[in-house]
């Protein structure tokens, strides 16, 4: 992560706004990923 942050800061000329925008966005991306990848309980009919 430190290398990625360093690369982003180098590319954007030490613009921390990009980082403070990307970091919270990653939480929403991870939440969405977990929502679609989590196994679902499918109700079964007992006979």
Please tell me the predicted confidence (pLDDT) of residue 29. Answer: 95
Cβ–Cβ under 8 Å, residues 15 and 25 = no
- Residue 2 is classified by DSSP as H
Report the number of distinct structural domains present in the chain.
Answer: 1
Please tell me the predicted confidence (pLDDT) of residue 43. Answer: 78
| pLDDT one-digit tens code per residue, 7-41 | 999 999 999 999 999 989 999 999 999 999 988 88
pTM, two decimals, is: 0.57
**Which domain range does residue 7 map to?**
2-36
Question: Residue 25 domain-assigned?
Answer: yes
Please tell me the predicted confidence (pLDDT) of residue 18. Answer: 92
Question: Residue 45 domain-assigned?
Answer: no
Q: How confident is the model at residue 46 (pLDDT cuts 50, 70, 90)?
A: confident
Question: Residue 41 domain-assigned?
Answer: no
Structure tokens at 16: 């921390």
């Amino acid at each position: 992560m430190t290398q990625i942050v360093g690369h982003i800061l180098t590319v954007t000329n030490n613009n921390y706004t990009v980082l403070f925008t990307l970091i919270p966005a990653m939480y929403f991306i991870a939440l969405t990923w977990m929502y679609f990848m989590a196994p679902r309980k499918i109700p079964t009919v007992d006979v």
